Amino acid sequence: MRGDPYPFGRALPSKHYLRATLSPECVRVTHMEIKAFFDQDTSTLSYLVWDPSTFDALVIDPVLNFDPASGATTRSSVVEIEQAIQSAGLKPRMVLETHAHADHLSGSQALKALFPGLKLAIGERIVEVQRTFSDVFGIEPEERPGAEAFDRLLKDGEVFPAGSLEVRVVATPGHTPACVSYLIGDALFVGDALFMPDSGTGRCDFPGGDARRLYDSVHRRMYGLPPATRIFVGHDYQPGGRELRYQTTVSEERASNIQLKAETTEDEYVRFRTERDRRLTAPRLLYPSLYVNIRGGRLPEPDVRGRRFLKWPIHG
């Protein structure tokens, strides 16, 4: 979700591929391909990752488009991913969520409907976020979502296959307590923990967020990886109207991240992040997103007239 209030930018060109050569000790495949999808309305980046030798694939952080003024959902972002999967003849195995997003609705269930057998996974501490926001939304105990909202809960350090792709789970809490990053070969998908060097880091002022924990996640866990490790971010707000960027490296972040460089001390970062977060406004889709996303991206069940209703608190 947004760390700084930069204006929205332009959509990513439909054909924008990245190729990576992976060392055999990291994964079982020799290389993979990555395609990024940019949702302009929420500045969110989703990723399709696949092994071109087996066509096994996974999707990271898909978006379900939502207009709060009309209450309409559309699947344009999901359709882009679907078309890319079908045109390349891919076999999608999993959808991976880096955390319960608070600025867009997850497109995971829309993808699962299109590709039967697709499994949805997220970090195991999602149950803490579910408890917190079940209280926020006043959800009755018997209706509260739990682990069953996802097909698989992932542990820190766990290594699992998605077909021929091998994924390592790296817990990176701080933005939320349940944030995880995914290391696939030399590519780390970091969600909202870290942005491009000119955009800093994710905010830490939501329930369960913690600037000291985010400092540790970035400074020790991410910056401790080999310098050439590539980082793929979950948002890009295009400061100053620059072109879209979503790939950086550990070396670049350590040297030039405007909020957290290698030499930044923990106290310096916590002081900055705390003051910065006090000035940030809530994401536009905060409550709709979390109401849906703690349910694994499921929309509320329709009533007898086929209507669905979202629920959130009113303050004041």
Residue 219 is assigned to a structural domain of this protein = yes
- Number of helical (H) and strand (E) elements in the chain, helices listed first: 7, 16
- pLDDT in single tens digits along all 316 residues of the chain: 444 332 222 333 333 333 333 333 433 334 899 999 999 999 999 999 999 999 999 999 999 999 999 999 999 999 999 999 999 999 999 999 999 999 999 999 999 999 999 999 999 999 999 999 999 999 999 999 999 999 999 999 999 999 999 999 999 999 999 999 999 999 999 999 999 999 999 999 999 999 999 999 999 999 999 999 999 999 999 999 999 999 999 999 999 999 999 999 999 999 999 999 999 999 999 999 999 999 999 999 999 999 999 999 998 7
Residue 283 is assigned to a structural domain of this protein = yes
Residue 310 is assigned to a structural domain of this protein = no
Specify the CATH number for the domain of residue 266. 3.60.15.10
Residue 309 is assigned to a structural domain of this protein = no
Residue 156, helix vs strand vs coil:
coil
Which pLDDT score, from 0 to 100, does residue 159 have?
97
For residue 66, give every residue at least 6 positions away whose Cβ sits within 8 Å of its Cβ, in sequence order, or none: 72, 73, 74, 104, 105, 285, 288, 289
Residue 142 is assigned to a structural domain of this protein = yes
Residue 10 is assigned to a structural domain of this protein = no
Pairing assessment for the beta strands 230-232 and 165-171 based on DSSP bridges: unpaired
Tokens of 132: 């917190």
Domain limits for position 66: 17-293
Number of domains forming the structure of the chain: 1
CA distance 63 to 149: 17
Residue 229 is assigned to a structural domain of this protein = yes
Pairing assessment for the beta strands 119-123 and 152-154 based on DSSP bridges: parallel
Residue 226 is assigned to a structural domain of this protein = yes
Q: What pLDDT digit, counting tens, does each position of 266-315 carry?
A: 999 999 999 999 999 999 999 999 999 999 999 999 999 999 999 999 98
